[in-house]
Amino acid sequence: MQNLKLPITISPSRSAQRRLVCEGAFKLSDMTRLLAECESRSDEVKVSVKFDVDERGLTVMSGTSSTLVALTCQRCNENFDHKLKVEFTFSPAKNEEAAEKIPSYYDVVELDENGEVNLRELIEEEFMLILPLIPRHKIRDCPADADSVWGELPEELEKPNPFDVLKQFK
């Protein structure tokens, strides 16, 4: 295992031939799309990625990545720390035709015109996918009342039951 400074773009096929294992970090401040959705609580994103060739001869890149961010609770509007951790397994494809031949147990990642993958963008997209849709504290940690109601609910109007007409036919 080599502890390398992580490159932004990397060739999965060349790395798989060498059975390369990379461990390192990216700056969280470079992940602008992610930081548009949350705040930074850590300076870096830890990444471990392994390149290999499977029994079918497909190039496979798998690994983990983690970082700490702050999200805004939708119950109380206060920030809370949230650890983002992803595990991924990708097989690169040159085009749509090649992507269709990759088994469903691998996620497909498209190669650029140089046959490389932007590793930083790939990790950022994986983090974006696991962000909670409605971020909020655990209910025991949230300062807001769990059963609080905002505003008045209108009383329901008495509507006639449309099936009352059928009672007349008895």
**pLDDT tens-digit profile, the chain (170 residues):** 444 568 899 999 999 999 999 999 999 999 999 999 999 888 899 999 999 999 989 999 999 999 999 999 988 889 999 999 999 999 999 888 888 889 999 999 999 888 899 999 999 999 999 999 999 888 888 887 766 555 676 677 777 888 888 888 86
Q: Bridge partners of 62?
A: 50, 89
The answer to whether 35 and 15 are in contact (CB under 8 A) is: no
Instruction: Supply the pTM of this predicted model.
Output: 0.78
Question: Tokens 């930083």, residue?
Answer: 120
What does the CA dihedral 54, 56, 58, 63 come to, rounded to 10 degrees?
A: -30
